[in-house]
């Protein structure tokens, strides 16, 4: 694979991402796992 990332590649990835169902809850959980110090749940 070449090191060039063109607009056509980006458009193709965007279309492919839009084809899958969005999972906002999973994304939120992933973000919380990435940065657990942003918001700590009350103990």
- Print burial letters for 3-40: b (CB count within 10 Å at least 16), e (below 16): eeeeeeeeeeeeeeeeeeeeeeeeeeeeeeeeeeeeee
pLDDT in tens, 5-40: 789 988 988 888 777 665 677 777 777 788 766 566
Residue 37: per-residue pLDDT:
62
Q: Is the pTM of this model over 0.85?
A: no
User: What percentage of residues in the chain have a pLDDT greater than 90?
Assistant: 2
């Amino acid at each position: 694979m070449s090191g060039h990332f063109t607009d056509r590649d980006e458009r193709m990835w965007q279309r492919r991402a839009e084809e899958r169902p969005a999972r906002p809850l999973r994304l939120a959980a992933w973000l919380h796992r990435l940065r657990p110090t942003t918001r700590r749940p009350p103990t």
